[in-house]
Structure 1
Amino acid sequence: MTDLLTGPDTVAQERRLVTELPGPRSRELAARRAGAVTSAVGSVLPVYVERGSGGVVVDVDGNSFIDLGSGIAVTNVGHAAPEVVAAVQAQVAAFTHTCFMVGPYEGYVAVAEELNRLTPGDHEKRSALFNTGAEAVENAVKVARVATGRSAVVVFDHAYHGRTNLTMALTAKNMPYKHGFGPFAGEVYRVPMSYPFRDEAGMTGEQAAARAFDLIETQIGAANVAAVLIEPIQGEGGFVVPAPGFLPALTDWCRRSGAVFIADEVQTGFCRTGAWFASEHEQVVPDLIATAKGIAGGMPLAGVTGRAELMDAVHTGGLGGTYGGNPVACAAALATIRTMREHDLNAAARAIEATMLPRLHALAERTGVVGDVRGRGAMLAVELVEPGTTKPDAALTNAISKACHAEGVITLTAGTHSNVLRFLPPLVIGQDLLTEGLDVLDAVFDAHAGK
């Protein structure tokens, strides 16, 4: 790991609490927010951010927080990464928008070329750019339906794919993502996920896949399936890593059945798991891959990349959007990818795993409230349960996360039952900063769950 990407004139890479939390300026902003922003939009932290650098964010009262969330896996290259900042500034000075569908520009083409090179497989590929992960997933489904002439889409328990109407239908969790927002898009079918912690003991990835295939073939019909859509490691569902063999079995079934295999790598992509894409860990080659989050160092950008014959099956004008592939976001993406490549952030993610996993396993053994430790690279999680059971403990998870915030460490929760504490540190976080964050986590667990 390295903290060399924070730039010479940025905030110190340290945890520092100088006021109560939230401080007076944050409380002022919270009062303004209450009169201006709908209560339907929530926030994890009680403080308001003023700036960030590397692995630290600083609030408006001068409190510095160790960031183990990266804006939900977005700032993989760190906050205000110098090369990204410089690229954005240069592009803003040149032009901010033309709409690629009106006046095209090189940046869009260059990002598409990078995606075609970086994504798994050496087949001929094409890409299209959008704004968000939900847009990318939705457009991948559109491509699959046109290319196959079929309509059914298979998704999995615990999945999260977005907040648009179609992606809400694809998402498994009701509250807060779906509740009251129906009716949803049709022809979406859900089957069991490989979830080693909660599956029958000893169930292999191949067996879990066979369980899914039986439901698909008997309840949907293989000939009706346009796409099988899956996160190679589930995100909001709780960082569920399927058993080895599960993903390859799905891809093989898709090849045999004429369905399109879509990997939703919105959260797992761009070095997050120690590879450019999580599919690579089992040599899985998706037909289509949806990307976003870590692609552009904090700027809004998303993409769909896939086999040329699939992507080109859609009629001209069938894909697009006013802001999709915005030139400023494209400049940020190109700088982000250069930073990842030049500083080998895949290796940095693996180093984070090497530091964190032993600490998390030790925490689990000491406290007795962690049922499972899982993840890859810098995408790690602990699932909290009532001692001696597998019953989810959402209350404890929430309490521990909030206690971490109060001590100056940003953590996030996840899971269908809201009982998973997830960790997504910037890949450039310094070793000392990461170790301090883990020390705080240990102390919080001992205070709330220690024996």
Structure 2
Amino acid sequence: MSTTENAIASAEAHSAHNYHPLPVVVATADGAWMTDVEGRRYLDMLAGYSALNFGHGNRRLIDAARAQLERVTLTSRAFHHDRFADFCTRLAELCGMEMVLPMNTGAEAVETAVKTARKWGYRVKGVPDGMAKIIVAADNFHGRTTTVISFSTDPEARADFGPYTPGFEIVPYGDLTAMRAAMTENTVAVLIEPIQGEAGVLVPPPGYLAGVRDLTRERDVLFIADEIQSGLGRTGKTFACEHEGVVPDMYLLGKALGGGVVPVSAVVSSAAVLGVYRPGEHGSTFGGNPLACAVALEVIAMLNTGEYQQRAAELGDHLHHELGLLTGGGSVQAVRGRGLWAGVDIEPELGTGREISEKLMERRVLVKDTHGSTIRIAPPLVIGKEDLDWGLEQLREVLRG
């Protein structure tokens, strides 16, 4: 057996099969490229579901992490540390908000948002205890915790994990009429992705986000934007909500916030919302740790230049133009997305999304499938135009058969 085959066989034997990875074993990575244990190079067109927006081994981020590793990595929130206040201040400024509640993973940020919205509903809005409702969208993906899968419509995420957490109303994505009809005096929040990633990079109809903003203001309901995948430069703006000039009541951030170095997530909102917490009501041993704050501070500084947002916008226009040329010719049904993020619906007779991903892997390009014959393309924002064009040419070759 080869080194690759041995590694995969060992993983299959000793790890739970909760993922179905492509048969490649990465050993090193730099920028937009990864190298496997056999020395083969692959173009990364997934970027860790946007966790690697700034590329593999970004020198600014690695240097920030290394410097902090020499000082202090963890204190717990039992004590203050000298990177925490700067992190919270700079992230709040980036978001145009006032307060930050740091966690580690995206799913933790979503769970925190659910708890926050309920507590705000009881303490501020005056909803009767135990009656708070949160409206979510069908085909959402907000994580895989027990509470989050309780409002998923994906059978794979839900099956055999009940009983489910109550308190959620599911409406069709992009349907303001249905959202309005679902609201009651006990509704405390609307939780949506500005662009649905796992569903196939679904962009809502024009005016939808602005309509959600208007509706939530009218009904005294929090608008929670899950920008864990869509935020921090991916769509050509710092936040996907900016494409409609919308500022929600709460941003949920993760993935790219840790620069592909450490897990960092955060709930960012106003003092009126996050001010509902009292000591002991919520927390995390690792949330807001010094190492995480040091890396995230460098991420924020990089975003403040606007360079990465501009790069995603310009290369994104090129990406979508080239992908658009593939539609209508019998190989691609539709292309969706914004910036350096695209969902590509392949004609089913050419293969499933998994099969197309495997064929691209054979040509040294790594993407990820989602439902049916859809693949997602989301390279690091640092990818070169020549590399992007080369990756797109491999897709064209695969589609030609």
Question: Which bin holds the TM-score, normalised by the shorter protein?
Answer: over 0.9
Q: Secondary structure at the match of 1:365?
A: coil
Counterpart CA distance in 2 for 1:64 and 1:396 is 24
Instruction: Render the CA deviation track for 1:371-408: whole Å, top value 9, x for unaligned.
Output: 32111111111123458xxxxx8x43222111001111
Q: Which of 118, 124, 128 in structure 2 is aligned with 1:145?
A: 118
Please state if 1:45 is matched with 2:54: no
Counterpart CA distance in 1 for 2:106 and 2:199 is 16
Q: Does the 8 A contact of 2:94 with 2:304 survive in 1?
A: no
List gaps (5 residues or longer) in structure 2.
none
State how 1:19-168 maps to structure 2 within 5 Å: 24-39=2-17, 41-99=18-76, 101-119=77-95, 121=96, 125-149=98-122, 150=127, 151-168=132-149
**How far 1:95 moved relative to its partner?**
1.4
Alpha-carbon spacing, 1:343–1:228, altered in 2? closer, same or farther (3 Å)? closer
1:205 aligned residue: none
Instruction: Render the CA deviation track for 1:401-449: whole Å, top value 9, x for unaligned.
Output: 11001111011122xx4332111100001111111000001100111xx
Q: Which amino acid aligns with 1:413?
A: D
**How far 1:31 moved relative to its partner?**
2.2
**How far 1:336 moved relative to its partner?**
2.0
Instruction: Render the CA deviation track for 1:218-259: whole Å, top value 9, x for unaligned.
Output: xxxx20111100000011111110011111111111111111
Counterpart CA distance in 2 for 1:147 and 1:340 is 31
Q: Secondary structure at the match of 1:115?
A: helix
1:444 aligned residue: 398
Counterpart CA distance in 2 for 1:399 and 1:364 is 19
Q: Secondary structure at the match of 1:106?
A: coil
Q: Which amino acid aligns with 1:50?
A: A
Q: Does the 8 A contact of 2:135 with 2:179 survive in 1?
A: no
Please state if 1:296 is matched with 2:258: yes
Q: Secondary structure at the match of 1:262?
A: strand
1:210 aligned residue: 177
2:373 aligned residue: 419
**How far 1:341 moved relative to its partner?**
3.3
Q: Secondary structure at the match of 1:159?
A: coil
**How far 1:74 moved relative to its partner?**
0.6
Counterpart CA distance in 2 for 1:317 and 1:287 is 24
TM-score, normalisation: structure 1: 0.84
**How far 1:174 moved relative to its partner?**
1.7
Alpha-carbon spacing, 1:378–1:182, altered in 2? closer, same or farther (3 Å)? same
Q: Which amino acid aligns with 1:353?
A: G
Counterpart CA distance in 2 for 1:108 and 1:75 is 23
2:163 aligned residue: 183
Please state if 1:285 is matched with 2:247: yes
Q: Does the 8 A contact of 1:128 with 1:319 survive in 2?
A: no
Instruction: Render the CA deviation track for 1:26-59: whole Å, top value 9, x for unaligned.
Output: 11111222332122x3242212111111000111
Counterpart CA distance in 1 for 2:37 and 2:86 is 37
**How far 1:266 moved relative to its partner?**
0.4
Counterpart CA distance in 1 for 2:314 and 2:20 is 30
Q: Which amino acid aligns with 2:60?
A: E
Q: Which of 352, 361, 376 in structure 2 is aligned with 1:405?
A: 361
Instruction: Render the CA deviation track for 1:318-377: whole Å, top value 9, x for unaligned.
Output: 2210111222122111122223334710011012212211111111133x2433211111
Q: Which amino acid aligns with 2:238?
A: W
Counterpart CA distance in 2 for 1:193 and 1:384 is 22
**How far 1:109 moved relative to its partner?**
2.0
Alpha-carbon spacing, 1:180–1:258, altered in 2? closer, same or farther (3 Å)? same
Q: Secondary structure at the match of 1:438?
A: helix
Q: Which of 199, 206, 211 in structure 2 is aligned with 1:249?
A: 211
**How far 1:279 moved relative to its partner?**
0.7
TM-score, normalisation: structure 2: 0.94
Q: Secondary structure at the match of 1:142?
A: helix
2:296 aligned residue: 333
1:323 aligned residue: 286
Q: Does the 8 A contact of 1:77 with 1:340 survive in 2?
A: no
Counterpart CA distance in 2 for 1:340 and 1:428 is 13
Deviates more, 1:309-318 or 1:262-271: 309-318
Alpha-carbon spacing, 1:79–1:277, altered in 2? closer, same or farther (3 Å)? same
Q: Does the 8 A contact of 1:263 with 1:288 survive in 2?
A: yes
Query: Aligned-residue CA RMSD in angstroms?
Result: 1.6
Q: Does the 8 A contact of 2:44 with 2:379 survive in 1?
A: yes
**How far 1:300 moved relative to its partner?**
0.3
**How far 1:86 moved relative to its partner?**
0.6
Q: Does the 8 A contact of 2:352 with 2:372 survive in 1?
A: no
Q: Does the 8 A contact of 1:84 with 1:336 survive in 2?
A: yes
**How far 1:24 moved relative to its partner?**
1.8
Q: Does the 8 A contact of 1:401 with 1:421 survive in 2?
A: yes
Q: Secondary structure at the match of 2:247?
A: coil
Q: Does the 8 A contact of 1:162 with 1:171 survive in 2?
A: no
**How far 1:182 moved relative to its partner?**
1.2
**How far 1:146 moved relative to its partner?**
0.7
Counterpart CA distance in 1 for 2:92 and 2:304 is 15
Q: Which amino acid aligns with 2:152?
A: T
